[in-house]
Structure 1
Amino acid sequence: MKDLAGKIAFVTGAASGIGLGIATALAQAGVKVMLCDIEEAALAAAVEGLKRTNADVASVRADVSLKVELQAAAEEARARYGGVHILINNAGVGGGGPYGTWNDAGWNWTLDVNLRAVVWGIEIFAPMIESHGGGHIVSTASIAGLISAGSSPYSVTKYGVVALSEGLRRELGPRGIGVSVLCPGVIRTNIMNSRRNLPERFASVTAAPPLDDAQRERVNQLAERVSHGIDPLYVGELVREGIENDWPYIFTDCEFEPMIEARFAEIKRGFDRIRDRKARR
């Protein structure tokens, strides 16, 4: 999609952070953008700010962890703009904790927002994109989708988004739909305060066992890093470039490249052990 001007995008988790950065970068390229978020006040402020730049934007409030609300948001986008060419599955939460702190609500909240909503978004929007002759889908995973940050539901869901995107890229390419997975590093977002939007049906997430001192320190260190993280607008510009050039993977920096290389090397050693074992027979 070399020429984005005049195209229509639907962005989830668009009221702040990476979602707003992507919406802004696309709007600057002449894309008409429907911003979707659960947080109404932040969504209204984001749209007001973009409209001051003469961007053609609109908004719809939806809890993407409910398929029916995402479906309704899609219909509102169709009613407003006639369809969608670009889907940005960006909404995400940092719900759940490591082994020993798990509970069903934490898993369900994180799975519903970070993974099931991505599945539903593709299920709902891909036919719409295809009906326009093609377009592009970007789903936000994380660098934690390539190097597990631990046993948290967050890492599990992000691995799922990477796997889904890799598979869909092969399947949707012949249909004229490009697929990219965004694997950001440490970005300046509100991810550490995800519970501000916790739906009541997942309220027992807060009943999880408390973190121990070491876990709490790691959380505090991460929160400090996030507060000084990469500018979300820069991430948005990378996503725009990724759409224009059909990148399969969109990274934001090279900080974690050595860790990914180490993971791949360990996988390779697993194959080498089998190869060596067969050679000794």
Structure 2
Amino acid sequence: MKDLANKTAFVTGAASGIGLGIATALAQAGAKVMLCDIEEAALDKAVQGLKRTNADVDGVKADVSLKTELDAAAKATLARFGKVHILVNNAGVGGAGPYGAWTDDDLAWTVGVNLMGVLWGIEIFGPLIESHGEGGHIVSTASIAGLLSRGSLPYNVTKYGVVAISEGLRMELAPRGVGVSVLCPGFIRTQIMTSRRNEPPRFDRPDRAALAKAEASELHQFVRQRVETGIDPLYVGELVREGIEEDRAYIFTDTEFEPYIEARFAAIKQGFDAIRGREPRR
């Protein structure tokens, strides 16, 4: 999609961070944007801020971990703009802790937002994008942790899943005129470290002692510091806009983790090399 002017985009997790950065970049390119978020006050503020720039935008509240709410958001988008050309599955949460600290509710919330929200977004909006025959694009936010898992966090599992569906969907939708990209950001200046502020009351939160222990860990403090000094989300939005216009399969925000991913691929190749020349038993 070389020309985004007058196209309609639906962006989840759009009230702040990467989502707002993407919504802003698309609006600046002339697209109409429906911002979607679970955090209503922040969503209203974001929408009003973009409207002051004369952008054609609106907002709809939805919990993407609930398919019914995402479906209602799609209907609201059609009612407001008539068509959808671009889907940005961006909503995400930090979620559950490492092995030994998992709980059923934490897993349900993390998987529900980070993975099921993406799958349902594709299921609901994909046919809408195909229906008008004008082409379109789907971007789903994974993480560099979707290509490099350095721990047992379910977050990483969900992001690997987002990469997998994006890679497969890209092959399937290309002949139908729909591009697919996966965004794999590094450390971006967002509110992901405080994502529990939006955890729905239907999920039981960890007890305060367990939560305090997790937040005091060396890893948590390191990640928090890197996020707080991370890349500007507006810059990420510009990269996503470019990725849509140029139909990039993978959208990265920096090269910090490239050597580690190359090392992972090298380890995978070693696994193949170990059996090279052997005849498999049939």
- SS of alignment partner, residue 274 of structure 1: coil
Could you say which residue in structure 2 is the equivalent of 1:244?
A: 245
Greater alpha carbon shift after TM alignment, 168-177 vs 252-261: 168-177
Please list, as runs of the form range in 1=range in 2, the aligned pairs for 1:77-96 lying within 5 A after superposition.
Answer: 77-96=77-96
Could you say which residue in structure 2 is the equivalent of 1:32?
A: 32
Offset at residue 238 of structure 1 (A) = 0.3
CA distance in 2, matches of 1:273, 1:158: 29
- SS of alignment partner, residue 84 of structure 1: coil
Offset at residue 203 of structure 1 (A) = 2.1
Could you say which residue in structure 2 is the equivalent of 1:224?
A: 225
Offset at residue 145 of structure 1 (A) = 0.1
Q: In the alignment, is residue 58 of structure 1 matched against residue 72 of structure 2?
A: no
CA distance in 2, matches of 1:50, 1:155: 32
Name the CA shift for 1:147/1:211 in 2 (closer, same or farther; >3 Å): farther
Quick check: 2:146–2:157 contact (8 Å CA) kept in 1? yes
Q: In the alignment, is residue 12 of structure 1 matched against residue 12 of structure 2?
A: yes
Under a length normalisation based on structure 2, what TM-score does the superposition of the two structures give?
0.95
Quick check: 2:187–2:227 contact (8 Å CA) kept in 1? yes
Quick check: 2:215–2:221 contact (8 Å CA) kept in 1? no
Aligned residue pairs, count? 279
CA distance in 2, matches of 1:191, 1:5: 31
Which letter maps to 2:73?
A
Name the CA shift for 1:41/1:245 in 2 (closer, same or farther; >3 Å): same
CA distance in 2, matches of 1:213, 1:162: 27
Which letter maps to 2:12?
T
Q: In the alignment, is residue 128 of structure 1 matched against residue 134 of structure 2?
A: no
Please list, as runs of the form range in 1=range in 2, the aligned pairs for 1:1-281 lying within 5 A after superposition.
Answer: 1-133=1-133, 134-206=135-207, 209=210, 216-275=217-276
Which letter maps to 2:110?
T
CA distance in 1, matches of 2:204, 2:215: 25
CA distance in 1, matches of 2:214, 2:170: 42
- Structure 2 unmatched runs, 5+: none
CA distance in 1, matches of 2:28, 2:136: 18
Name the CA shift for 1:3/1:150 in 2 (closer, same or farther; >3 Å): same
RMSD of aligned Cα (Å): 1.7
- Structure 1 unmatched runs, 5+: none
Identity over aligned residues, as a percent?
72
- SS of alignment partner, residue 76 of structure 1: helix
Quick check: 2:6–2:30 contact (8 Å CA) kept in 1? yes
Quick check: 1:67–1:117 contact (8 Å CA) kept in 2? yes
For each residue in 1:115-142, what CA deviation from the matched residue of structure 2 results, as whole angstroms up to 9, or x when unmatched?
A: 0010000000000000121200000000
Which letter maps to 2:139?
V
Offset at residue 201 of structure 1 (A) = 1.2
Quick check: 2:11–2:34 contact (8 Å CA) kept in 1? yes
Quick check: 1:101–1:208 contact (8 Å CA) kept in 2? no
CA distance in 2, matches of 1:77, 1:214: 38
Which letter maps to 1:81?
F
CA distance in 2, matches of 1:228, 1:46: 22
Which letter maps to 1:263?
R
Of Structure 1 and Structure 2, which has the larger fraction of its residues in helix? 1
